[in-house]
Amino acid sequence: MHIHVLGPVSVATDGERHGIQANKARAMLAALALDAGRAVSHTDLADELWAGRPLGNARNALQAHATRLRKVLDGPGAPPRGTTVLRAVRGGYLLDVEPGCVDGNTFLDLATRGAAALDVHPLRAIELLQAALELWRGPALLDAGDGLRCRGAAALFDERRLTAWEDLVRARLAAGDTSRAVAELRRLVAEHPLRERFCELLMLALYRAGRQADALELFHVTRRRLDEELGVQPGIVLQRRHSEILSQDPALSLSTVPAAS
């Protein structure tokens, strides 16, 4: 069994994915999956599902949602009859699966290992980071509701995803795959135009591809956008990269891992 939270929340058994139709049951699964293998209290679950709004009998309501959820979790490919992965424990519920059964945990593990390999084995880093990013099927916890637990986790997952993309293009530049790095960074800059790190890496990639003028133009476009939308000037790292490209610093052409931001 695998629980998917990197996109719409769903369950996969025997290779077949099943969505959770009931909104509260889906939010309950997401909250429990974020703490797979650990108990989550009735109080915390009630706060997540009803966002602190008063509820007459929260435990009965949670029990009803747990029953709906078990119909999906205990379907074909589930544990043997008489057992369930969604266990009622003293004071709460527990999703009795290994953390590695949740794609969010697998992503974090692969991304961490990829980042660790970056300086020494960029090709291995590329392999790990690509595997991590391929797990995504949309914004994290897309339909998990508005509870603070899931919204906070979604923000952390989404930020870690962007960091993984940064690490991946850094690894490509270190491995000499400049053309692919440029293509990926163009998309990332288009999607996140105010994220200076993507702009800075694209400037470096363009310079290494022999396109100094394009790299300098990108700096000026980003500077105008930052001024118009945020009223700020580019950060010190982006300004330094601009100066290095203007002076054609020899270090820019070395096939090394770009420094972390």
Each residue's pLDDT expressed in tens, for the chain with a length of 261 residues: 899 999 999 999 877 888 889 999 999 999 999 999 999 999 999 999 997 676 778 889 999 999 999 988 886 555 555 568 999 999 999 999 999 999 999 999 999 999 999 999 999 999 999 999 999 999 999 999 999 999 999 999 999 999 999 999 999 999 999 999 999 999 999 999 999 999 999 999 999 999 999 999 999 999 999 999 999 999 999 999 999 999 999 989 876 667 776
On whether the CB atoms of residues 260 and 244 are closer than 8 A, the answer is no
Rounded distance between C-alpha atoms, residue 21 and residue 43, angstroms: 23
CATH class of 176-261: mainly alpha
Residues of the chain with CATH 1.25.40.10: 176-261
Domain 2-98 has CATH 1.10.10.10: yes
For residue 18, list its beta bridge partners.
11
Considering Cα of 26, then 44, then 35, then 39, what sign does the dihedral take? negative
Rounded distance between C-alpha atoms, residue 4 and residue 191, angstroms: 24
- Phi/psi class of residue 224: alpha, beta or left (left: φ > 0; alpha: ψ in -120 to 50)? alpha
